[in-house]
Structure 1
Amino acid sequence: MNNNPKALFITNPHDLNSQISGGVQICSQYFLNILKIKFEIQVFEVQISTNPLHRLYRKLRIDGYKLYNPTQYLATLEHLVENEGIKTIFFNKSELIRFCEPLKKRFGERIKLVILSHGNETGDFLHDIVLGKLGRGGPSKVVELYRLGLNLYTESLYRRYYVDLVCSMSETEAHIERWLSAKKTFIIPQIISNEEPVQWQKKLGIVGFVGTLNHTPNYEALKEILQTLKNLNVSNVTLEIVGGPENIGQDLAKEFSQARYLGRLNDEELKNRISGWSLFLNPIFWYSRGASMKLSKAIAYEIPLVTTEAGRRGYFWNEGKVIETANNPYDFVQQILKYCNNEFELSLIQQEVRKAKNSSPTASEIANSLANTIKLL
């Protein structure tokens, strides 16, 4: 018999399961699995609102988190709270924040409302505006700036008055949540994948990257690294690239002699290839939302890796280390050059990565800590 307290996990089903799983689905499943350790979870699915007014707001890009229509679900939610003994409601992603106002007004302190943040989207939005990817000028830019202000206002208003706890993926984002008026925050750190380590048979000078190449942070980081290697006239390093779309990978390989594009690989092919890399690269040069999922797999494989301050967010360990650099391509490349052809240093770093893997928090430890935090709300 399950004696754990009952709780709801409200989510858009697409964010939990999709034919092609991406970072959102991986993160959602991770949160759900953590919660199931200490709570009897009932998943409650909601869909994007088809309300004509909400659709108009979205089209004009002034929705202010009016993606969903809480009113259409409120009666069912009230029934569950009243009749199923629900004491805690978890919202998968901050986009569901408008559900909190009617529920808190209806039940007050009888229920605790917890946001499971996948990362602060407004930060990414601001980044795109500043770089000119959104609102390139004139009326369009005015709309995007208005939307930015409206979203910030909504985030702060609801956190201050209706949300009991915000769970973030890193200490950096916990600070942002507190700046946005969150009354209480909790960090759900990344746990290291339980995959078996690869049989490391390093080839000196061969380093590798795995990722979606049309994801702007990935593409920009790769190009900056390759450009830095080219500017330094480096000839004893080859950067192997795994991922798609293929045309982007092929173009990078044509432009830079240091790049070798391998295409998309299945899991077995990928592990075999990674086993030959002297370094696994995790370049993240700006504080995009969330935390890097790739780092977990790289550490699980127990091979030396290079990441950045931004890329390491959301990971904790008591012993060991990875190679960590400042958030710029020059420092990142300097660490590649320091280690990738030095067998002795690589062996030392591999030992440190193994220590980090073995001293990272477990899912049970995180779940216990979260449950205790909610009890004290």
Structure 2
Amino acid sequence: MRVAVVGGGVAGSASAIALARVGARVTVYEAHEDPAGPVGSFVSLSVNGLRALDALGCLEPVQRAGFPVDRQRMWSGRDRLLADVPRGRRSGDPLRSVTLMRADLIRALREEAARSGARIIVGRRVSGDSHDPLISGADLVVGADGIWSATRRALNPAAPQPRYAGLYSVSGATDGPVRLPGDRPQGFNMVFARRGAFIYLPAPDGTVWWSAQVAATDPPPDVAAVGLAELTESFRTEKTPLAVLLASTAVAAATLLHVLPPVTCRHGDRIVLIGDAAHPVGAGQGASMAVEDAVALAREVAATKTVPAALAAFDRLRHDRTGKLAKTAAANRDAKTAGPVAARLREIIMPFFFNRFYEKATGWLYDHDPGQLPA
């Protein structure tokens, strides 16, 4: 079977590994010259994503490229601890969530894809149209080209388009070790701030990785021009975010955050959408869902006699899970843009309920077993 993968990011590289492992001849087409270069910020993989990476045979290199994160803590803008729960897992799970730079994750996946026999061509933009000579001879076309997917538009010209989510994200790291105010432990920390949310993680080298998600009804004219001066103004009333920003001299990445209405046409007879092209879920699960997709798609292709039947089975398998997660992501996003009254209610109620019900509410997500690829 000849497979053309459109997009060489996390979803594309993971699907290339999985499909090559089940015997397909895979070619990946990536528009950027270096998709593993300095694009984006850090990314977290919860245990469901790590199990999918294990199925692909590349869990260990990804773990080596990042660092484990044991706990997730959420704080009010007034430095009140609202929740303290296991990060991306149940408390009894021996796996630990891993955080690493997105570029390092893509690099590890691309290297494994090449070892698996996939051919990776960079600097070639595919239109997604079935008559595009780059993909016209493929038996299967995998649209792994992200939220602005050309493959999705080619599959269905009436497909929904992304819209601005009312948030933009600016990320970076401190220049060196930082002494955080008070007794701030290691782990993933999120502060519900007056103007959005601020995420920070102390790294093993003592620096602090951070991401400021700024709520703004209208997006900035040039998000790449947003710098530390604007961020320190936005988070001037939050003690710890301000300390982290003041210990930094540059930003590493900036992007507008977008949402996508549910995509109802996710496959045809030989074209299928995966990852953000099909369901940009957010909630810290984008990379994990993309890797889960890759394993599930390869398993169905290997088990089903025809490509159309395999794609239909894959879509049925993934639809409910990704749809449920999209609703969770929407609730998380709304919490970051809540007004002062909602923020005050959250500060009162959240400490009494979140820790008690977290594992019950998220068990369906973290307990997922993607299965193994057939030999």
Specify the TM-score bucket, using the shorter chain as the normaliser: 0.3 to 0.5
State which structure, 1 or 2, has the greater radius of gyration over its C-alpha atoms: 1
TM-score after normalising by structure 2: 0.35
TM-score after normalising by structure 1: 0.35
Higher RCO by CA contacts (8 Å cutoff, separation 6 or greater): 2
